[in-house]
Amino acid sequence: MMTERNLVIIGGGPAGLAAAKAAYDCGERDILILERENELGGILNQCIHNGFGLHTFKEELTGPEYAQRYIDEVIKRNIEYKLASTVLNVSRDKIVTYVNAKDGVGVVKAKAVILACGCRERPRGAINIAGMRGAGVFSAGTAQRLVNIEGYLPGKEVVILGSGDIGLIMARRMTFEGAKVKAVIELMPYSSGLNRNIVQCLNDFNIPLKFSHTVVEIKGKDRVEGVVVAAVDEKLRPIMQTAELIPCDTLLLSVGLLPENELAKGAGVSLSPVTGGAVVDENMMTDVDGVFQCGNVLHVHDLVDFVSAESENAGRCAAEYINGKVCAAQKIPVKTVNGVRYCVPQYLCADGVYEPISLKMRVAGVYKKVELTVRADGVKIYGKKRPVVAPGEMENIALNAEQVKALKQAKEIVISLEGGEARA
């Protein structure tokens, strides 16, 4: 039997919760959240460290506390949610098929769908590490779940590949639980993690961080017995003469996140080859009418605060779409050149709504003394001088209504890094 709903939100993590709250506050009452796990909150539930919410709540919360703030908002508004419900398919005409133990297979026809399904970790297979297939190789997030939620320690002598924030946080967490973290290995000459995490997760416990190194082999038949680590040259190729064995029983991989977009593909949504997420306009609408996207499924964020803000925008716009206020008119492409890797949104709607919007982007390398500019048909609309920009830090450009008006009257919008020293 097919039921009908105005708005179906897929994912009950920070993105889905914020979208639901905002859609409700915009007047939409017929909302259903579908969540795969047994509780709301998404990945925040296992991020038990502090540091969340400085922007949103002006205080420093742990992941579960931040999630609870939004869960409370959703419960207060009586927004319906189904847990342990896995969405199997979203069709182009917004028919959502899900499965759970109570309903069996459920089919919902929605007027609008928000995809807020988050991202996954890059697995071992994606980085081609040679060696044996012994137990003891985990993604950092899997280890985080085992330690923080299930109460298991995945190993005692640990090497971590990748110095992103999850890798750094897990170095400290494993140390707290009595494991010895022997080294964090980073392929690049810099860390994509926050400086504060290098200080409080590694330096505090004298855990060495080896830049421009990688794991070239995993040893151990039944259980990991060690990893072979080597320096890499400027083209990131391992220099085998430098190879050394680090004995360990566990290798954690913190080597990047990938938006989870199987559902979007099924719905016929066009994806960006750069972000791995959908191509959207400033209303967070994809190129499939009435299908929206927000949070880490759209592009991987640094801070959950930015996920919440983006998702509230998506929720508002979805509610307005249901009321017939958002139309997919002609779209102006936002091009990125000269060191700017991508921008979300990739398009602006060429209609007469001139509301403040924010453009989010990442750069391709580390650049010093640059100006981040937005030009409309060659005319500079916005410029921000930055002493240094790096790929690990998302840049956010907030544009006022007047600037948006100038952009929307252009044929072409170009975001670029101008001036500066390094070009990678």
CA distances in angstroms from 269 to 90, 341, 410, listed in the order given: 10, 21, 26
Rounded Cα distance, 98 and 127, in Å: 32
E strands present in 288-356 = 291-293, 331-336, 340-344, 347-349
User: Least Å distance between CB 176 and other proteins?
Assistant: 5
CB of 60 or CB of 222, closer to other proteins: 60
Pick the closer one to other proteins by CB: 150 or 234.
Answer: 150
Q: Give how many residues touch other proteins by CB under 8 A.
A: 31
Report 167-206 residues binding other proteins (CB under 8 A).
176-177, 194-196, 198-200, 204
**At CA 284, angle to CA 281 and CA 285, rounded to 5?**
75
List for the chain the helix, strand, coil content (%; round to 5).
25, 35, 40
What is the smallest separation between the CB atom of 406 and other proteins, expressed in angstroms? Answer: 31
In the bound state with other proteins, the residue whose beta carbon lies nearer, of 45 and 373, is 45
Residue 149 interacts with other proteins (CB under 8 A): yes or no: yes
Shortest CB 20 distance to other proteins, Å: 18
48/246 with CB nearer other proteins:
48
- Do residues 121 and 140 make contact, with C-beta atoms less than 8 angstroms apart? yes
The DSSP output letter for 278 is: B
Least distance from other proteins to the Cβ atom of residue 195, Å: 3
Alpha helices in 146-289 (DSSP H): 165-176, 195-197, 262-266
Q: 177 or 418, CB closer to other proteins? A: 177
Least distance from C-beta 29 to other proteins, angstroms?
21
Least separation in angstroms between residue 268's CB and other proteins is 36
Half-sphere exposure of 257 (CA within 13 A, CB side): 26
Which residues between 47 and 66 bind other proteins (CB under 8 A)?
Answer: 48-51, 54, 60-65
Residue 241, SS3 per DSSP: helix
Starting at the edge strand found earlier in the chain, the sheet holding 331-336 runs 347-349, 331-336, 413-418, 367-376, 379-389
Q: Which residue number, 65 or 418, has a Cβ lying nearer to other proteins? A: 65
120-127 LR contacts (CB < 8 Å, sep 24+): 120/257, 120/258, 120/260, 121/166, 121/253, 121/254, 121/255, 121/256, 121/257, 121/258, 122/253, 122/255, 122/256, 122/257, 122/258, 123/253, 124/253, 126/255, 126/258, 127/253, 127/255
Sort strands 226-231 and 213-219 into parallel, antiparallel or unpaired: antiparallel
Q: Indicate which single residue of 4, 101, 150, 424 sits in contact with other proteins (rule: CB under 8 A).
A: 150
- Using rule CB under 8 A, residue 76 touches other proteins: no
What residues numbered 12-51 form the site for other proteins, per CB under 8 A?
A: 38-39, 45, 48-51
Region of 148-156, 233-241, 244-252, 397-405 interacting with other proteins (CB under 8 A): 148-156
Decide whether 289 or 302 has the Cβ nearer to other proteins: 302
- CA–CA separation, 323 and 312 (whole Å): 17
Report DSSP state, residue 392.
Answer: T
Within 355-394, the residues that bind other proteins by CB under 8 A are none
The reply to whether 302 sits near other proteins by the rule CB under 8 A is yes
For tokens 């996920």, what's the residue?
307
Q: In the complex, what is the shortest distance from the CB of residue 245 to other proteins, in angstroms, rounded to a whole number?
A: 29
- In the complex, least distance from residue 43 CB atom to other proteins, rounded to whole angstroms: 13
Give the residues across from 362 on adjacent strands. Answer: 342
Nearer to other proteins, 51 or 136 (CB): 51
Nearer to other proteins, 62 or 100 (CB): 62
Find the binder of other proteins among 104, 125, 151, 378 (CB under 8 A). Answer: 151
Closer by beta carbon to other proteins, 176 or else 223: 176
CA distance 211 to 163: 9
Find the part of the chain contacting other proteins (CB under 8 A) among 21-29, 146-154, 213-221, 335-343: 146-154
For other proteins, the binding residues (CB under 8 A) are: 38-39, 45, 48-51, 54, 60-65, 68, 147-151, 176-177, 194-196, 198-200, 204, 302-303
